[in-house]
Amino acid sequence: MSDFDEREAYEPNDPKHPDWPDSILNKLDEEKYEAKLNSFDEPGYQCVGCKRAPAQIQEYVDAAHDEGITPSEWVRSEEGTFNKENGHFWCTNCYIKAGMPLGKAP
């Protein structure tokens, strides 16, 4: 009678395999996140000031990364100036430069 070897419960390349260190799992999460970033395409999303997309604006990249979502998703759900009719918003810099207009971005 042999002890149950939990390693045999997984394929060798299964990330849940007990031989896989956490660092690899974290890296996989990062890679999954990168893949998600690259696959999530919202071409209409842009700041009406600097014309940049959320993924090009560091504040959204950082905030989205903390939440494990894409910058576009973050802007859509969190950015107060986001206009869901056309995907426009003000990034913080442009919002201040524009004199902090009330309401949604045009």
Residues lying near Zn ion in the complex (CB under 5 A) are found at: 47, 49-50, 91, 94
Three-class SS state of 83: strand
Of the pair 37, 91, the CB lying nearest Zn ion is at 91
CB of 38 to Zn ion, least distance (A): 22
CB of 51 to Zn ion, least distance (A): 7
d(CA 98, CA 90): 9
Of the pair 18, 106, the CB lying nearest Zn ion is at 106
Of the pair 49, 87, the CB lying nearest Zn ion is at 49
CB of 64 to Zn ion, least distance (A): 16
CB of 47 to Zn ion, least distance (A): 3
Of the pair 35, 50, the CB lying nearest Zn ion is at 50
User: Which DSSP string do the residues of 78-103 spell out, in sequence order?
Assistant: H-TT-BTTTTEE--HHHHHHTT--SS
Among residues 79, 74, 76, the alpha carbon closest in space to that of 95 is found at 79
d(CA 74, CA 106): 19
